[in-house]
């Protein structure tokens, strides 16, 4: 008997393909009554990108600091994704990760028991993908669950 899809992960990277993946992920989540997690992976980003009073972080856990940043950072790209989600008919969560995208996606999917990853592909040439690798190709090979690639 096939495993039911209850948790869907959509990695976002500010590309048109990831917006299309978010739309497909949302459609699948609605049709299966599954939860949807949007994971924005920003390699190399950190607190130094924001002008924040660092004393506000004294005594905060990493999770509390993460939540504080999300409350104050506005991103027009993510706002467009949010407008498609509004309706409240499914559980949607938004997470941010600041490390290697392919490793972060696979690690998150494994740790959170994700049943399906829906992600965009930037459509690089086969030669370039062979030489430098591809996030979607890496996730396809190493993910702990099925992966749907949107082009």
Instruction: Give me the CATH number covering residue 143.
Output: 3.40.50.620
Instruction: Give domain status of residue 55, yes or no.
Output: yes
Residues 85, 19: Cα–Cα separation, whole Å:
12
Mean pLDDT of the chain: 78
Domain for residue 128, yes or no? yes
CA angle 121, 106, 83 (to 5 degrees): 55
Position 7 confidence tier, pLDDT thresholds 50, 70, 90: very high
Return the CA Rg of the chain.
16
Per-residue pLDDT at 111 = 95
Q: Which DSSP state fits 115? A: S
Residue 2 forms part of a structural domain: no
Domain tally for the chain?
1
- Which domain, by its residues, includes 11? 7-150
What pLDDT digit, counting tens, does each position of 53-107 carry?
A: 656 667 777 777 767 666 655 565 666 666 666 666 778 888 888 778 889 999 9
Residue 132 has pLDDT above 60, yes or no: no
Distance (Å, whole) CA 75 – CA 82? 10
| Residue 145 near residue 116 (C-beta atoms within 8 A) | yes
Q: Which two tokens stand for residue 143?
A: 């993910």
In a domain? residue 1: no
């Amino acid at each position: 008997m096939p495993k039911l899809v209850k948790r869907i992960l959509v990695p976002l990277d500010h590309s048109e393909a990831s917006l299309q993946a978010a739309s497909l992920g949302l459609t699948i989540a609605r049709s299966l009554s599954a939860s949807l997690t949007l994971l924005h992976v920003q390699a190399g980003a950190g607190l130094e990108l924001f002008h924040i009073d660092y004393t506000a972080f004294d005594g905060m856990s990493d999770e509390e600091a993460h939540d504080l940043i999300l409350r104050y950072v506005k991103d027009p790209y993510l706002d467009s994704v949010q407008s498609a989600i509004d309706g409240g008919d499914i559980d949607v969560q938004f997470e941010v990760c600041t490390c290697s995208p392919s490793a972060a996606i696979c690690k998150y999917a494994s740790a959170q028991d994700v049943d399906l990853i829906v992600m965009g592909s930037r459509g690089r040439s086969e030669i370039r993908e062979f030489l430098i690798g591809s996030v979607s190709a890496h996730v396809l090979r190493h993910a702990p669950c099925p992966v749907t690639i949107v082009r």
